[in-house]
């Protein structure tokens, strides 16, 4: 390969440590917050305190008292207000507004109700507390709808898994979009072996804030998809990537379906959490289907985590990296989408989508 060609394929790095605000992120699993407990979480280096009020509504505040920076998660919560553990200031959980400063005398001129702890939009869906982190631009609009896992029937099973990855959000997402690591990292009799490698051809199209791998018959070299043949119906898989961090996959087989979502949430510039959530109405007659699925999915995630831990050793030395055609093209689209999103925030102009029309990619995996 000529040096000019190599340069053309080198990934842009200008945004690699940037973390995108102006989006919803999963902060915690629902079961981690019980009763009047307060829980601390970290999102994009922002400390957040989460809980549920007496009506069961979730809330999220910056985990920092506006008085002297004490984490509010160290304080008490009565179902309506959080009391800071340092000097007892009280804040409304649903707005962050200060309700009381115990040290003030009754004739104090201080306008207590003008003091706010930073408050974030918070919703609970699919077993997660979702928090919207505003982008901080002056053009701030109201938050879009919080993400929801697509489901296609009223009855289904739901599984959640997660793991931490010791890398920046871009490397985490590139790993998610990368089709070529399958036969190496996920080698096993039930998924892929090196011998099962073959040529794949996939067509992608632009969607708002992302791209879609068009509906196609799933890989014939993956054992789990072979199970679906029992239904004797056409099987189609669609895979979307949407900013800031989300891969959504849907497998449809007549009335039967499987839907999963992976998000890579940056905690710090060098650490992310992968959240995996899957729902399906397949094989309802099969015993132990959920524990079996969980067992295999957990192994799969551990393989990704293991390779990320190993890659982190290499990344410590700031290597130059390449993204090649066609297998790394989705990764490049992600980086371009992120740049375009940041640019549009800076300029106020509409975001320029890196994909202007459908594109067919070919690779071996």
| Residue with Cβ nearer ligand FES (27 or 84) | 84
CB 9 within 8 A of CB 327: no
Tell me the closest approach of the beta carbon of residue 221 to Fe ion, in angstroms. Answer: 15
* Contact of residue 24 among ligand FES, Fe ion, none (CB under 5-8 Å per partner type): none
| Residue with Cβ nearer ligand FES (68 or 226) | 68
| Residue with Cβ nearer ligand FES (62 or 261) | 62
| Residue with Cβ nearer ligand FES (86 or 296) | 86
Ranges within 302-361 binding Fe ion (CB under 5 A): 304
* Contact of residue 304 among Fe ion, ligand FES, none (CB under 5-8 Å per partner type): Fe ion
Tell me the closest approach of the beta carbon of residue 34 to ligand FES, in angstroms. Answer: 24
Tell me the closest approach of the beta carbon of residue 110 to ligand FES, in angstroms. Answer: 13
Tell me the closest approach of the beta carbon of residue 51 to ligand FES, in angstroms. Answer: 17
- Tell me which residues touch ligand FES (CB under 6 A): 65, 67-68, 70, 84, 86-87, 89
Ranges within 84-143 binding Fe ion (CB under 5 A): none
Tell me the closest approach of the beta carbon of residue 304 to Fe ion, in angstroms. Answer: 4
| Residue with Cβ nearer ligand FES (65 or 228) | 65
The residue at minimum Cβ distance from Fe ion is 304
* Contact of residue 68 among Fe ion, ligand FES, none (CB under 5-8 Å per partner type): ligand FES
| Residue with Cβ nearer Fe ion (73 or 265) | 265
Tell me the closest approach of the beta carbon of residue 73 to ligand FES, in angstroms. Answer: 12
Tell me the closest approach of the beta carbon of residue 252 to Fe ion, in angstroms. Answer: 23
| Residue with Cβ nearer ligand FES (70 or 151) | 70
Query: 332: closest CA among 204, 145, 232, 236?
Result: 204
Kindly list the residues in this chain that would bind Fe ion in the complex (CB under 5 A): 304
């Amino acid at each position: 390969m000529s040096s000019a060609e190599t340069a053309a394929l080198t990934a842009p790095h200008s945004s690699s440590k940037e973390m995108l605000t102006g989006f919803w992120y999963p902060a915690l699993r629902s079961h981690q917050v019980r009763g009047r407990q307060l829980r601390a979480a970290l999102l994009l280096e922002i400390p957040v305190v989460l809980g549920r009020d007496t009506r069961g509504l979730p809330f999220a505040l910056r985990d920092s008292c506006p008085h002297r920076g004490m984490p509010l998660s160290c304080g008490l919560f009565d179902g309506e207000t959080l009391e800071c553990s340092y000097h007892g200031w009280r804040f409304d959980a649903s707005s962050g507004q200060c309700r009381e400063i115990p040290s003030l005398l009754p004739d104090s001129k201080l306008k207590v109700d003008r003091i706010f702890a930073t408050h974030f939009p918070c919703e609970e869906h699919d077993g997660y507390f979702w928090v919207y982190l505003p982008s901080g631009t002056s053009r701030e609009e109201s938050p879009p709808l919080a993400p929801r896992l697509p489901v296609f029937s009223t009855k289904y099973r739901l599984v959640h898994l997660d793991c931490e990855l010791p890398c920046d959000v871009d490397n985490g997402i590139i790993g998610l979009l990368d089709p070529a690591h399958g036969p190496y990292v996920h080698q096993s009799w039930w998924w892929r072996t090196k011998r099962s490698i073959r040529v794949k051809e996939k067509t992608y199209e632009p969607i708002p804030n992302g791209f879609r791998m068009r509906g196609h018959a799933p890989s014939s070299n993956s054992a789990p998809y072979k199970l679906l043949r029992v239904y004797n119906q056409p099987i189609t898989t669609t895979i979307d990537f949407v900013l800031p961090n989300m891969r959504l996959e849907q497998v449809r087989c007549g009335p039967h379906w499987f839907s999963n979502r992976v998000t890579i949430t940056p905690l710090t510039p060098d650490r992310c959490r992968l959240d995996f959530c899957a729902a399906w109405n397949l094989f309802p007659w099969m015993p132990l289907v959920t524990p079996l699925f969980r067992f295999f999915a957990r192994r799969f995630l551990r393989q990704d985590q293991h390779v990320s831990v190993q890659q982190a050793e290499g990344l410590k030395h700031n290597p130059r990296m390449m993204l090649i055609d066609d297998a790394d093209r989705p990764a490049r689209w992600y980086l371009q989408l992120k740049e375009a999103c940041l640019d549009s925030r800076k300029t106020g102009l509409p975001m320029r989508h890196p994909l202007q029309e459908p594109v067919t990619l070919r690779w071996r995996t």
